[in-house]
Amino acid sequence: MFVDLDELYLSEELQQMRWVIRRFVEAEIVPNGEAWEELGTMPREVWRKMGELGILGMSFPEEFGGTNMGPLASLILSEELARSTFGGVMAGITVHTDMSASHIVRHGSDAMKAKYLPEIVAGEKVCAVAVTEPDAGSDVAGMKTTARREGDHYVLNGSKMFITNGVYGDLYMLAARTDSSAKGSRGISLFVLEKGMPGFTVGKTLKKTGWLSSDTALLYLDDVKVPVENLIGEENKGFYYIMEGFELERICIGGQCVGQSEKAIELTMEWLKSRKAFGKTLWDMQNIKLDMAALVAELAAAKQLAYHTAHLDAQGKDASMSACMVKSHLPELMNRILYKCVQFHGGMGYMRETAVERISRDARLLPIGGGATEVMLLELAKKM
């Protein structure tokens, strides 16, 4: 039913890794996901199991325990985690692997990599990325958190909002202004903060509509002293590092949308072919067939875009415009697909006991998180 792009884009090693992830999802996540939604997070031992299987290190250098498989590995990881139907688990893991620790891989010093990456790859330390603020979401340049250099430390003050893994995480890739006189995107730097640093606190756990198995936090920084060696890359280059990281983040979101959409369609097709109304199955009704066929065709085209974008990035080519297209189009398509899937399930589509209902709740965040659709389209327009 769905277009298979594996042989076209993936090496044999990546294809094998997909099945490792899929078996892990079926054995560990699917049976336990509902309990983790009640818990509000994923247990630590599950992170360690993923570390042992190599799932957390696919994008990391081999010298630190990774396998250096690149952005296509990140794409299939997102896709397979999404097929679990538990978006919170998917979010927590991909934030750890591809949206936070990846900053250390790209721009961290050798000492920083040696200090942090082995435990990150092993699942011993959980990572978060802290960029969004109460008054600065998609507008990264509007952030107000500050970092003032004092001798061999920076002193950080401010707050961060909507931080995935913010409650139970250990390491935070946090952005702050190091040059208060600089305007807009200039004067922002990235730091590694560790849980337990004096003055660094979780304000509260935020209650969300979806992604219930991932923790989301409001963070406060009150004169937090961060060693100079915890600066990622160069001072005042943080905004550019964040923008660079967004390319991979958008590829991952594309994978998330593909995985959740395909799973929702599979579940809906099973329902349509078994549910009877007016003397026949729902699948016997022509209008339903046409709607589902159109969505499958549109998803196939969008999936090709996501894979091609990851392929461009893997080849070291500029994939920024293509990544904007992925982020602006796939989440919106996913929500249209889920609207129909819920609709065709009838009353059961609105019940918490159905996976389609859960996916529909989780889907609503993706046109917002990682850069709102409208911002993506504006960014795309600038490149036209």
Domain locations in the chain? 6-126, 128-237, 239-382
272-316 pLDDT tens trace: 999 998 889 999 999 999 999 999 999 999 999 999 999 999 999
Answer whether residue 141 shows pLDDT above 90: no
> Class for domain 6-126, per CATH?
mainly alpha
- What integer pLDDT is reported at residue 358 of this predicted model? 97
Catalytic sites, residue numbers: 249
- What integer pLDDT is reported at residue 143 of this predicted model? 86
- What integer pLDDT is reported at residue 137 of this predicted model? 64
CA distances to 99, 129, 252, 373 from 307, rounded to whole Å, are: 18, 25, 10, 20
In contact, 271 and 345? CB cutoff 8 Å: yes
308-325 pLDDT tens trace: 999 999 999 999 999 999
Q: Dihedral (C-alpha) 28, 61, 153, 240: value to the nearest 10 degrees?
A: -100
Q: Taking the model in full, what pTM does it have? A: 0.93
- CA 106 from centre of chain: 18
State mean pLDDT over 203-216. 92
Answer whether residue 147 shows pLDDT above 70: yes
Q: Which fold has domain 128-237?
A: Butyryl-CoA Dehydrogenase, subunit A; domain 2 (2.40.110)
3-state secondary structure of 384: coil
Question: How sure is the predictor about 346, in pLDDT bands with cuts at 50, 70 and 90?
Answer: very high
- What integer pLDDT is reported at residue 48 of this predicted model? 96
- What integer pLDDT is reported at residue 243 of this predicted model? 87
Answer whether residue 367 shows pLDDT above 70: yes
State mean pLDDT over 360-368. 96
Options 1.20.140.10, 3.40.50.720, 1.10.8.620, 3.30.360.10; CATH of 239-382: 1.20.140.10
Q: Dihedral (C-alpha) 155, 160, 163, 167: value to the nearest 10 degrees?
A: 60
Q: Which stretch of DSSP H or E encloses residue 58?
A: none
* CA nearest neighbour of 255 among 9, 37, 71, 41: 71
245-266 pLDDT tens trace: 889 999 999 999 999 999 999 9
50-99 pLDDT tens trace: 999 999 999 898 998 899 999 999 999 999 999 999 999 999 999 999 99
Answer whether residue 183 shows pLDDT above 80: no
d(CA 230, CA 173): 10
- What integer pLDDT is reported at residue 339 of this predicted model? 98
**Cβ-Cβ contacts under 8 Å for 362 (sequence gap 6 or more):** 86, 87, 88, 210, 211, 260
**Cβ-Cβ contacts under 8 Å for 280 (sequence gap 6 or more):** none
Percent of the chain with pLDDT over 90: 87
